[in-house]
Amino acid sequence: MGVPFWGRGYTTEAGAAVLGYGFSSLSLHRIFARHVVRNPASGRVMQKLGMTQEGCQRQHIRKGERFEDIVNYGMLHQEWEAATSRRAGVAPSASA
């Protein structure tokens, strides 16, 4: 996302659309994402989306001459359903 568009919620909105498509249209069970530690803004987006931090892979990738730590996030279908229901003001189903 270009710097002039930071802080406007576009990335969070796009992430929510990806989660909705993955869980609703593709019937995925789990969706995961990750970010490099030195980019905490991406982690905040994942948190806003309701994803759960699942761990950190230390020095997992190399970018140039530097090894980077990666933070992993994930969300299960039933977690997405429950969060979507809460936002819509609907009680979660018994299957969630």
Annotated domain spans of the chain: 3-88
Answer whether 0.85 is exceeded by the pTM: no
| CATH number given to 3-88 | 3.40.630.30
SS3 for the chain is CCHHHCCCCHHHHHHHHHHHHHHHHCCCCEEEEEEECCCHHHHHHHHHCCCEEEEEEEEEEEECCEEEEEEEEEEEHHHHHHHHHHHHCCCCCCCC
92, pLDDT greater than 60:
no
Q: What is the pLDDT of residues 70-85, one digit of tens each?
A: 999 999 999 999 988 8
The confidence band for 24, taking pLDDT boundaries of 50, 70 and 90, is very high
29-39: pLDDT as tens digits: 999 999 999 99
